Amino acid sequence: MTDRTSALDSLVFGVDIQSGDVRGDAPSYALVAFDGENVDRDVVSHRKLRRLLDREEPAMLATDNMYELAADKDALIHFLRMLPAATKLVQVTGAERPEPLSRVASRHGVPYGKKPMKEAEAAARLAAANVGYEVAAFGDTTRVKVSRGRSTGKGGWSQDRYTRRIHGSVKRRARDVKQRLRQADLDFEVDVTEKYGGYANAVFTVQAPPTDIPVSEGRSGDTRIEIERERYDGIEFEPLVKRRDHVVVGIDPGTTTAAAVVGLDGRVLDVYSTRTADTADVIEWLIERGRPIVVAADVTPMPETVEKFRRSFDAAGWTPNSDLPVDEKLHRTREASYENDHQRDALAAALFALDDHEDQFERVSRKVPPDLERGEVISRVVAGEESVEAVLRDLADDEEPEEDESEHEERELTDDEKQIRRLRTRVERLESHIDELESTIDEREETIAEYETKLSEAKREERRQARERREVKRLERDTDRLQRRVDTLEAENDELDDKLERLKRLWKLDHSNFADVDIDGDLVSVKIVDQFTRDAIETAEKQYGLAAGDVIFLRDASGAGRSTAELLAGVDPRVVLRSGGNLSEVADQILFEHDIPVAPAADVTIQEVDELAVARESEVEAAIDDWERRAEERQKERKASMVDQIISEHRAGTRGESR
């Protein structure tokens, strides 16, 4: 039988339908909460069950049928999505083909009754003993997508500025998400789609569940964030513990030793090959994957190496009538995966041996009661060559038949009979000695039982300490989460402080005494950049905050290169007023290509107050209009130049042909 340990040092919920139907009327559930010692019972609605799961966060939610909690596969996936991250949904009756709960409970010695509350308790106790399969639809990978929150639409130059602004917002939001993920110390990969002016979207693949990601989904301004947990292709079942079931093993010896393990149901469990490991390592690998009933080879007679493996496990041996042809091995292993020919040969030997014993396995299985493990019976029948009836009697602890006693009259014994009597006397002495040894064994077993009791007490104490350690770890995780929250709030506070400083400056601008210049209320704020350099632009960004639609005054417009001009163009200002030198050709070209007006500062009256400045709106508009006229002329000149060049090239080609 499979050895299992108790699951539990934490809470398990067991549920069963009390009344109603999840596909129709609102159902009620028999709910049992089991912590390894105490049992609490209640009848709850589906909604209350969800609230209790969110509040208590049990380690497992156990049921005999997962579709008692959801009407169909889609509803089940939705239910799994809403479960707390620490809670597993467990189907205690098996995976795709569940058994009756009564049979499973009987096999594992768990009390069972037909009433819903009894079935719920049986499910909870079975899950606590690590019986069953976890039902899963999601992995631990989460996809975070930052994308446009508005459509870019169609249009001309003004629409281009609008598109650049949206793409720039997506890029800034993606950088913020990346910074938060790094602060949370999460592993992630990012895939960016670059577009005109910034990003169209950025997709982060994060190795963490959504609860650990410090980002919320939703739409904000020009951007939108979507968070989606990685979905499996369907519903997957993972056993709570790996069982060492009875298996059939195939061995291919040689310079490279290969082994294959196949379950009694025909499933290929694992394959393995090595050039360096010795026999002991291969035996250890096999022990970890099951208990071999049959050890098979693909050739006859059985090689000595395979025979050693067979003897090590006291298993039955199998060889074909003649060496298996390659085409038959390829056909038999066509649906399995393997890495080399050695693994294929070992796997073929195991599968052919299973085929040869299939009828025998089925005959034995039909005779095995539900409360006995069929693998144990098959093993003793096949490997031990016992009859099914004898094995079942032995496992059921039937009483041994009493020995028949025979009486005889005393007479003169012959020499042979005397020898027989002496031998019988010796046998009796030996049997007496055996009785003494058995008595000693009984005493040893009592001692072992005492030690097992002490071990059980020690395990209970260890579980109590484990609960305390888990509680400490949970509190530490809560502390770390709260600390991350504090760090986030402090960062947000710093941002708000910066905004407050900018608002104070704007308030100062609104309440300054501009009576000498504000004749008709025709003023607009101007943001000053001392030099046309990257450092000066970044300094102004920190002091005032540069944004689309600002009027920017360059005290010294000379010396800018391509990257500096592109940095200023990315701000998307309303107009750039230059002074202190001419723009470089490359900077002028980049600003012109990004449709950003550039005008001499001398054309606009700029009034500076402390570190702030203002200008007349009418003069700014006039400067922009003047630039737009010059831009149209520049476009016309460019087109005329291109036409002249084409005509010249055409004439030059015509002359060459005439010659």
Residue 523 dihedral angles phi and psi, to the nearest 5°: -125, 150
The reply to whether 37 and 158 lie within a common domain is no
Q: Given a cut of 90, is residue 516 above it in pLDDT?
A: no
Q: Given a cut of 50, is residue 163 above it in pLDDT?
A: yes
Q: pTM value?
A: 0.38
Q: Given a cut of 70, is residue 503 above it in pLDDT?
A: no
Q: Which two tokens stand for residue 567?
A: 């940095």
User: In total, how many domains does the chain have?
Assistant: 4
C-alpha to C-alpha distances, 486 to 217, 372, 492, nearest whole angstrom = 20, 58, 10
Residue 452 forms part of a structural domain: no
DSSP conformational letter for 413: P
Question: Of 366, 381, 396, which residue sits at a domain end?
Answer: 381
Residue 423 forms part of a structural domain: no
Q: Given a cut of 70, is residue 609 above it in pLDDT?
A: no
The reply to whether 201 and 261 lie within a common domain is no
* Polymer length of the chain: 659
Directed axis angle between helix 374-382 and helix 341-367, to 10°?
Answer: 110
Confidence of residue 40 (pLDDT cuts 50, 70, 90): very high
Domain that holds residue 584: 523-642
Q: Given a cut of 60, is residue 409 above it in pLDDT?
A: no
The per-residue pLDDT for range 178-237, each reduced to its tens digit, is 999 888 888 889 999 888 788 889 999 998 888 788 888 888 878 899 888 887 777 888
Give me the chain's average pLDDT, please: 83
The reply to whether 193 and 293 lie within a common domain is no
Confidence of residue 521 (pLDDT cuts 50, 70, 90): low
Report CA dihedral (128, 131, 133, 138) to the nearest 10 degrees. Answer: 20
Per-residue pLDDT, 7: 41
Per-residue pLDDT, 233: 75
Residue closest to 105 by CA, chosen among 368, 371, 374: 371
CATH of residue 23's domain is 3.30.420
Q: Which two tokens stand for residue 509?
A: 């601008």
Confidence of residue 410 (pLDDT cuts 50, 70, 90): very low
C-alpha to C-alpha distances, 270 to 97, 273, 334, nearest whole angstrom = 22, 11, 15
Confidence of residue 71 (pLDDT cuts 50, 70, 90): confident
- For 467-522, give the DSSP string: HHHHHHHHHHHHHHHHHHHHHHHHHHHHHHHHHHHHHHHHHHHHHS--TTT-SSS-
Directed axis angle between helix 415-511 and helix 157-183, to 10°?
Answer: 130
Residue closest to 83 by CA, chosen among 113, 108, 102, 63: 63
Residue 40 forms part of a structural domain: yes
Of the listed ranges 280-284, 439-443, 509-513, 525-529, the one predicted with least confidence: 509-513
CATH of residue 287's domain is 3.30.420.10
Of the listed ranges 38-52, 67-81, 386-400, 634-648, the one predicted with least confidence: 386-400
More confident: 416 or 577: 577
Q: Given a cut of 90, is residue 323 above it in pLDDT?
A: yes
The reply to whether 208 and 267 lie within a common domain is no
CA 228 to chain CA centroid, Å, is 12
Per-residue pLDDT, 96: 81
Residue 446 forms part of a structural domain: no
d(CA 351, CA 296): 9
The reply to whether 304 and 362 lie within a common domain is yes
The reply to whether 332 and 225 lie within a common domain is no
Confidence of residue 403 (pLDDT cuts 50, 70, 90): very low
Per-residue pLDDT, 560: 84
Q: Give the residue-averaged pLDDT of 274-283.
A: 84
Residue 394 forms part of a structural domain: no
% of the chain with per-residue pLDDT over 90: 24
Residue 529 forms part of a structural domain: yes
Q: Which two tokens stand for residue 483?
A: 């600390």
The reply to whether 256 and 225 lie within a common domain is no
Q: Give the residue-averaged pLDDT of 598-607.
A: 88
Instruction: Give a three-class secondary structure readout of 451-466.
Output: HHHHHHHHHHHHHHHH
Per-residue pLDDT, 504: 66
CATH of residue 155's domain is 3.30.70
Question: Of 99, 131, 163, which residue sits at a domain end?
Answer: 131
- For 607-625, give the DSSP string: EEETTEEEEEHHHHHHHHH
53: Cβ contacts below 8 Å, ≥ 6 apart: 13, 61, 83, 84, 87
Question: Of 349, 381, 413, which residue sits at a domain end?
Answer: 381
